[in-house]
Amino acid sequence: MNDPFEELEDRLAGLAEHAPQRVASGGRASRRRASPSPTR
Amino acid sequence: MTFFEAHRNSVSEPVPTATEMDVDDGNALTADPRRPRSAAGFEALFALEQAPMLRLAFLLLGSGPAAEEAVQEAFATVYERWNSIDRPGAFLRTCVVNECRSRHRRAAVALRKRHLVAEADVVDDRHAELADALAQLPRQRRTAVVLRHYLQMNTAEIAEAMGTSEGTVKSSLHRGLQQLKETLR
């Protein structure tokens, strides 16, 4: 690779295409109970 | 099935019922924080950000299943706090970064980071090379590099998302890019 920085954004975008497109239903989050009205 | 439908019976906090699509809520980054947000607004955020957040989490974790889990947890947190957060889009991004950090800590106990790459099922050689190089970066450097060079966030935004200072972000970026350069040489 001649200049890693020059291509980095394109390569990151290309690698990101291997990510799942959707979250599967029914993981731990769907079973989690909400905490009472937290604020930020 | 939408996120709201999937989680309707699992969350105890009542969520307002939408009578119409709220355009401002659809653009969660510009929604008026003073107004209660609708469930439809959350669904709009979910529809808009699900895939981008999965891609971000995948770059941070190197694993599809782990990315799914992190993003699902992040959306669950946003859902719980939907009526109290000021900027849902930014809060969601921070939640994803935090979830990925938690998973990194857990993974570090049981696995070498390199093993996470094997889970990614990256078949393209150039993508695998980058995935391997990212996996060798310490978590903070990896996060800073991905947020800067994948999401094009500035240092102030990265510092907010990572819960650290801009100075630390700049240092992490510099060292992370140097390390990547050496690895990808």
Tell if the CB–CB gap between A19 and B64 is shorter than 8 Å.
yes
Question: What is the ipTM score, two decimals?
Answer: 0.71
Query: Which of B35, B4, B6 is closest to B17 using CA atoms?
Result: B4
B30 vs B132: CA distance, rounded Å: 37
Question: CB-based contacts of B103: which residues, under 8 Å, 6+ apart?
Answer: B61, B66, B69, B70
> B15 with B84: CB under 8 angstroms?
no
| Whether B11 and A34 lie within 8 Å, measured CB to CB | yes
Per-residue pLDDT, A7: 82
Which chain A residue has the Cα nearest residue B99?
Answer: A29
Render pLDDT for B64-93 as a digit per residue (tens, 0 to 9).
Answer: 999 999 999 999 999 999 999 989 999 999
Greater pLDDT, B118 or B123: B123
- Residue-wise pLDDT tens digits, B125-161: 778 889 999 999 999 999 999 999 999 999 999 999 9
Is the overall model pTM greater than 0.90, yes or no? Answer: no
